[in-house]
Amino acid sequence: MAEKLKVATCSLAGCFGCHMSLLDVDERLLELLEIVEFDRSPINDIKHISQPVDLGLIEGGVCNAENIHVLHEFRKMCKILVAVGECGITGGIPSMRNSFTLKECLEEAFVRGAGTENAHIPDDPEIPLLLDKVRPLHHIVKIDYFLPGCPPSAEAFLYFLTELMAGRDPSLPQELIHFD
Amino acid sequence: MYPSLTIPVPDFLDSIPVEHRKDPHALLQILIQIQHAYHHVPKEAAKRLAEEMGVPLVRVQGLLSFYSFLSPEPQGDYVIHFSDNITDQMLGNRGLAAHLCQRLGVKLGETRKDGRVSVHFTSCTGMCDQGPAALVNYLPVTNLDQERIERIADLVNAQIPLQDWPPEFFTVKSQIRRSDVVFRKPIEPGEGIRASLERGGAFLAEWAEDLAPSDARKHHLERGGAETLKEIYRSELRGRGGAGFKTGIKWESVRDAKSSDHYVLCNADEGEPGTFKDRVLLTDYADMVFEGMTICGHAVGSKTGILYLRQEYWYMKEHLEKVLSRRREAGLLGKGILGTALDFDIELHFGAGAYICGMETAMIKSIEGRRGIPRRRWPLPVHQGYLRCPTVVNNVETFAAATVISAKGGAWFAHNGTGQSTGTKLFCVSGDCERPGIYEYPWGVSVHEVLRDCGALDAQGVQVGGPSGTMINTREFDRSACFEDLVGTGTLMIFGPQRDMFEAVKNFALFFQHESCGLCTPCRVGTTLLANYVRKFEKGCGSPVDLKEMQNISGLMKTMAHCGLGQTANHHITESIEKFPAIWKGRMKTTEFIPAFDLDGALEEARNLTGRTDPEAHLAPDHAPMEA
Amino acid sequence: MSSSFFLDGKAIPFKEGQTVLQAAMSAGHYIPHLCWRPELEPHSSCRLCTVIISGKPFSSCTQPAMEGQNVECDTPELKAMRRAVTQLLFVEGNHYCPSCEESGGCKLQATAYYLGMQDNHFPHQFPVRVRDSSHPLVNLDRDRCIRCETCVRASRELDGKNVFAIHGRGIRSKLAVNSPTGLLKDSGISPEDMAVKLCPTGALTVKRVGFEFPIGQRIFDQESIATLELREYANQEAVHG
């Protein structure tokens, strides 16, 4: 048997919807697991990539310092890095906050918000610091491929992975390209 | 100090002839008058104009937001615009502007709290051979230096009216350093028109017997015009504005186009930074320009000419009006020119700060009182131009050449120059040289020869034809200026060995971003992305990936942009990468990819909001911003 | 005898006065476009319909068809450039497709699909633009505006109203509303206006009718923009000749 494709995945400023869609391949997941092996991923709860992998799938844009660290780890450890879904590709829904200043956002949530007591902007060092804007992945590191959709459909995931593993250009056919 | 600033708006508007106030085509010209009177366009004035003209208010506001010199918000009693061409920068304009702001206690781009003064930067004002320059209340002040800046600060603080400022501040010199066959012995007023009219003369005798006098006069006129057109063809004159279209073909198309009215427009928008030949021509040889327009009117059958000047040349208005009335008195303009049936007159129109208006269809829209947006390619202006009538649009220098051709003949003219570029050309020389100014050479002169004559043999590079033209390095100094090789407006900005060519690239990138009209996608977005990349390199954070992206965007603009501005607004990028690679390499990190923004800087706002200083509140600070 | 030109080598018949784009569409060959509408004067600002004739680029929506001319349209280079220009439109604005009620019916999005656009490639500008939700029935979301001026032209040429204009210059140019307050609520706009109907994106939408069709049943879930536009054009020609 050929060596399995090592894959790592993560969700940054995303909703895990893309991961859910990947799981939506249903029983084909079993076939998929015949050919791929997951390293770091929310699917198996491995926290860091243990060794260089072939493929990294990243869902979500970049909204805080921790996202940057994770993205850098992925870029370092993944031969091929893929931005998955609208948020990873464009910033998506979280980037709607870019129309406001960070101050406006945080005050709206933590100071002026209904029912807040002892209102202040959280400053615990445990909490990753927010970036001024939410950005797509390609602003921070080189991205090799983009898999659009909100989320990309299970079919799009399968098509993309199959083509990539066959060593072909994984560009989606028109009917599989969706931004929503 | 400015009495008009206090005139009630209704009274001021009442003083404008009512037929103007009701004519939407006059909208821009009236807004300029209002701007000059009030140093902004008061809301009240905009509203009333819209009502009287019967145009939506949104259209008036559209003009205010398009032309740089019109402002909806009040400006100071003194409005100072520093020219910000690269040649001004090389002469230290930035430091002078900062010093003036400091002396006056005003921030750049703002108006002082007491409403006394505003200070801005503006694109090249066409005084590159005597910079650094500025406009004070729309009048040019040249040769700025520390001493002049101190004086200006004192004059402003003491509220001295402009007419009591030292007159030498406002001196604009015509530094013609070299004349060739055309300007060594310029054409006398009337010489060109007379020759044009006389071309119909030989035929008059034959007709006079068969035709009524008025018909004979008309035939005489038409024949003369046709013969003059032949002379233009014989001269092989090509437009001097940069594109080099054959003037004869243009004129004939207009002559042949059926219409009740035909128009002759002279393009004195001269917005290409580094270019100032039209300013010198209109100062010293306005007669030759007006005469060329009149000859064109004769050749194409037009009665109306319009000279469109950039706002920066407002100071010439009085002078040009004087020349026009002198020509009317001499029978060289107006009804029945030199006693023939030729009627032709010329009006002055002004722009209000928009480089794009140098593009002929944008200029036509501007003269029609609209935003200067280039219109679609078809129909061509020669068929449907100004007011949808057949229209000749030529450059100032082209009309001056037409006068020479009419007076001396097409063959005489074609004797000079090269095979495809006949005649002589005025070159605007500025930057690092001993003798900046205007140089007349036959077409085909080498860059090296110009550099020798102006005293710039140590140059490391020359920008030929302005920012939209060609950037050359020492290996190309034997190239020649002609349509076969280095075309353009005849502009040479010279960079000495001490200069960092990156500064020029940055200046041009920001210029194009500022001047893109915004109509088409590739130019509107492309100029902004290019400017952002240049800023990224400026911070020393470029990468090879970025260079490739810039070339990619440049190629996109070249093919996909709507007009010449967008198609050429990338030359400075591609050419500097090719010819001055070191300026880019020196600003690169060694890595393959660098973020589009400063990672640690992006946490600054959150650090301030939370007061956090722990290690987790920072990211490696080795990156720079490029988002605008 | 009818005249014809060649589009990527195929003979395309045309009538006197037709542009390259019109003749191509009549003959069933789609050329991507966003600012062009059959019922409006061409504008040639989006530049997507650019073709190459004798080595030079022209916008096919304004270029008159001429006998025997060779027009290059679907070359790999032009396709890539059209995709890149569309990407420029995406990064200069704020296009949040997943939450947009126009998604699935949006011509900008459908054109991107047609051009095989999978990402926005360029750095996003994240401009801060003012939305106008003042009108009870019509919403103006400038984040989604691509400045094609379809509404400007439709309001003037079809609705006879002049509700819209473009203000500013360059990257800062923006859609302006002709009303004393500059707000849509004080303008003459109505949800039936062609200006609203023809907006190719979700910049101008009618309120209270968003998300009418579930995902999978929206216009461009079912067919590509090429198919739709060609059919609409043929219908229009059948009616107006």
Smallest Cα distance from A174 to chain B, Å: 23
Question: Count of domains in chain C?
Answer: 2
Q: For the stretch C157-184, what's the b/e string if a residue is b when 16 or more beta carbons lie within 10 angstroms of its beta carbon?
A: ebbebbbbbbbbbbbebbbbbbbeebeb
Tally of structural domains, chain A = 1
Task: Name the stretches of chain A with pLDDT < 50.
Answer: none
In a domain, A65, yes or no: yes
The domain B432-499 is placed in CATH, from the list 3.20.10.10, 3.40.50.620, 3.10.20.600, 3.40.50.150, at 3.10.20.600
> What does the alpha-carbon distance between residue B200 and residue B196 come to, in Å, rounded to a whole number?
8
> With contact defined as beta carbons under 8 Å apart, do A163 and A170 qualify?
yes
CATH number of the CATH domain containing A79: 3.40.50.700
Chain B interface includes C190 (CB < 8 A): no
Q: What is the pLDDT of residue B378?
A: 85
Q: What pLDDT is recorded for position A75?
A: 95
Answer whether residue C159 is part of any domain: yes
Domain B78-171 is of which CATH architecture?
3-Layer(aba) Sandwich (3.40)
- pLDDT of the residue at A117: 80
Block mean pLDDT (10 aa), chain B, length 628: 71 93 96 96 96 94 97 96 98 98 97 96 97 97 97 96 96 96 92 94 60 81 94 96 92 96 98 97 98 98 98 98 98 95 97 97 97 92 97 98 97 93 96 98 96 97 96 96 85 97 98 98 98 96 94 98 96 98 91 83 93 89 42
Cβ contact A95–C96 (<8 Å)? yes
Q: Are residues C40 and C105 in the same domain?
A: no
Q: Are residues C211 and C105 in the same domain?
A: yes
- Beta-bridged to residue A81, according to DSSP, are A56
Question: How many angstroms separate the CA atoms of B413 and B395, rounded?
Answer: 18
The whole-number pLDDT of residue B377 equals 83
Same domain for C232 and C166: no
Q: Which CATH class is domain B178-414?
A: alpha beta
Note which residues in 49-88 of chain C have CB less than 8 A from chain B. 50, 57-59, 62-64, 81, 84-85, 88
d(CA C132, CA C187): 12
Q: Nearest chain C Cα to B59, which residue? A: C165
Q: Do C102 and C48 fall into the same domain? A: no
Residue A106 lies in a domain: no
Let me know if residue A120 belongs to a domain.
Answer: no
State the Cα–Cα distance between residues B47 and B34, nearest whole angstrom.
Answer: 13
Q: What stretches of B300-360 adopt beta strand conformation (E)?
A: 304-309, 345-350
A119 domain-assigned: no
In this prediction, residue B620 carries a pLDDT of 76
For residue B595, give every residue at least 6 positions away whose Cβ sits within 8 Å of its Cβ, in sequence order, or none: A139, A140, A141, B623
Q: In Å, how far is C28's CA from the nearest CA of chain B?
A: 24
Distance of CA A175 to the CA centre of its chain: 23
The single residue listed with the structure tokens 């008195």 is B329
Interface test with B, best of A121, A129, A140 (most B CBs within 10 A): A129
Q: Hunting for tokens 């921030």 — which residue is that?
A: B107
CB neighbour burial string for B267-306, b if at least 16 within 10 angstroms, e if fewer = bbbbbbbbbbbbbbbbbebbbbbbbbbbbbbbbbbbebbb
pLDDT, position B205: 55
The C-alpha atoms of residue C55 and residue C72 are separated, in whole angstroms, by 9
A169 touches chain B (CB under 8 A): no
Distance from CA of B542 to the nearest CA of A (A): 13
Question: Is B376 close to C173, i.e. CB distance below 8 A?
Answer: no
Looking at residue C147, which CATH number applies to its domain? Answer: 3.30.70.20
pLDDT at B409: 96
Contacts 24+ apart (CB under 8 A), C156-163: C157/C39, C157/C40, C157/C41, C158/C39, C158/C40, C158/C194, C158/C195, C159/C193, C159/C194, C159/C195, C161/C188, C161/C189, C161/C193, C161/C195, C162/B56, C162/B58, C163/C187, C163/C188, C163/C189, C163/C193, C163/C195
CATH number at residue C33: 3.10.20.740
Q: Is there a single domain that holds both residue C128 and residue C65?
A: no
Asked if omega into B379 is within 30° of 0 (cis), the reply is yes
| Positions of chain C with pLDDT under 70 | 1, 241
- Determine, yes or no, domain membership for C89: no
Pairing between β-strand C3-7 and β-strand A36-38 as defined by DSSP bridges: unpaired
Chain A residues in contact with C215 by the CB 8 A cut-off are 180
Between chains, do A133 and B606 touch, taking CB under 8 Å as contact? no
Q: How far is A51 from chain B (nearest CA, A)?
A: 22
Predicted interface score ipTM higher than 0.95: yes
- Tokens representing residue C30 in the block: 């789609």
What is the SS3 assignment for C68?
coil
